[in-house]
Amino acid sequence: MSPRPDALARLAAHTAERAKAGLRRRLRAFDHMDGPWLERDGRTLLSFCGNDYLGLAQHPQLIAALKRTADDEGVGSGSAHLIAGHRAEHAALEEALAEWTGRERALLFSTGYMANLGVMQALLAEGDVCVQDKLNHACLLDGAKLSGAELKRYPHADVEGAARQLQSRPGACALLATDGVFSMDGDVAPLRELSALCAREGATFMVDDAHGLGVLGPEGAGSVAAAELSQHDVPVLMATLGKALGCFGAFVAGRASLIEGLVQSARTFVYTTAMPPAMAAATLAAVRVAREDAWRRDKLQSLIRRFRDGAGQLGLPLMPSDTAIQPLLIGDANHAVMAAEALESVGFLVGAIRPPTVPQGKARLRITLSAMHEDDQVDALLEALSGLPWATEV
């Protein structure tokens, strides 16, 4: 009998292969954050790689709400929602999120990953089909695989390709899922066209609006609201609370029947500890600020235009995006890392995104803008980018 493969040894070999290919990821601990500035080992860097698009993570109203509730309620919720963990703060936040997004009800999850896994496990079963954009976030892809449904992917933003995939399984229960704003490319899905397709084909439409909520649409209600799509048009809406809202967690919103079904059947909701009530209170404060402070979205859009105009004048290979996510295509993974290191050496923190997060040959700098940034900081970044010899290698 041959010996069993060793799982730990196999993992170690895979890690070594990634390191050899220049694709190893690494953790770096930062000592302090002050707006867009991050401090590590006594050195301060200007960050252009975060997701705090509206600059709310350190907003005094959020901090005050968190401290006030922690003083009253403590830190942890102490239980799952369905046992004793669901507090008044959770209920108030769910009501506010539902009202903001124009849905009947909302349900909190601990992370966006857990929300997407829970939704797909509850809605899909073996024999069903889940059709997804090839550039969807990993949690949507994993959710489909774990559900037991057949996962069929279509070329990025290709509505006709999505139609072909749905039509290949005409008798199956079908869910079509897409990112609203794609996290690595920054472009927005063709939501109206996909909604119309789902209506024609009898498929359920789901949108992950992690990078659209707070930034796009009336009062920042997201990419679905920007596309003027209703609860009827997009029956399943998921969004996260740790990006534009500057907090933590996620929610799913839709009809009351959807939410009640998730309460009964979404394992990632039923079998996990509830979000700390103090975090729910801080997030409720974030929703109010995000809705009221339209100037934050206006400033962010101004910075996006400034960056894109400047990059165009410099001939930098920006990918097409009108959102806060501005990818600069490098191509070679090693060159992307070298570019990020060169920027860090002059005080800028920018993420180098490499395979398998993006396709081979599509490594990039993922530059993200925030309402915390100022015009002169964007100009300084552009000047630093203009000095990179490999910035135009595609």
Question: What residues are annotated to the active site?
Answer: 183, 211, 243
Q: How many helices (H) and strands (E) does the chain have?
A: 14, 14
Ligand-binding annotation for 10, yes or no, is no
Closest to 272 (Cα-Cα) out of 142, 107, 97: 107
Ligand-binding annotation for 357, yes or no, is yes
* Residue 46, beta-bridge partner list: 37, 348
Report CA Rg, the chain: 22
Q: Which residues contact 352 (CB under 8 A, 6 or more apart)?
A: 330, 333, 336, 337, 339, 340, 363, 364, 365, 366
What region, left, alpha or beta, does residue 246 occupy, with left being phi > 0 and alpha being psi -120 to 50 degrees? left
Closest to 103 (Cα-Cα) out of 192, 211, 245, 206: 206
Ligand-binding annotation for 113, yes or no, is yes
Ligand-binding annotation for 86, yes or no, is no
Ligand-binding annotation for 90, yes or no, is no
Ligand-binding annotation for 211, yes or no, is yes
Closest to 226 (Cα-Cα) out of 328, 84, 323: 323
- Is the distance from CB of 231 to CB of 102 less than 8 angstroms? yes
208 vs 191: CA distance, rounded Å? 11
Q: Which residues contact 368 (CB under 8 A, 6 or more apart)?
A: 48, 49, 50, 51, 53, 324, 325, 326
Ligand-binding annotation for 273, yes or no, is no
Q: How many residues does the chain have?
A: 394
Is 15 in a helix, a strand, or coil?
A: helix
- Residue 290 burial by Cβ neighbours in a 10 Å radius (0-12, 13-18, 19+): buried
Closest to 321 (Cα-Cα) out of 185, 144, 202, 206: 185
**Residue whose pair of structure tokens reads 């954009």 in the numeric block:** 133
Ligand-binding annotation for 156, yes or no, is no
Closest to 105 (Cα-Cα) out of 265, 263, 213: 263
Binding-site residues for substrate, please?
25, 137, 357
Binding-site residues for pyridoxal 5'-phosphate, please?
112-113, 183, 211, 240
Binding-site residues, please?
25, 112-113, 137, 183, 211, 240, 357
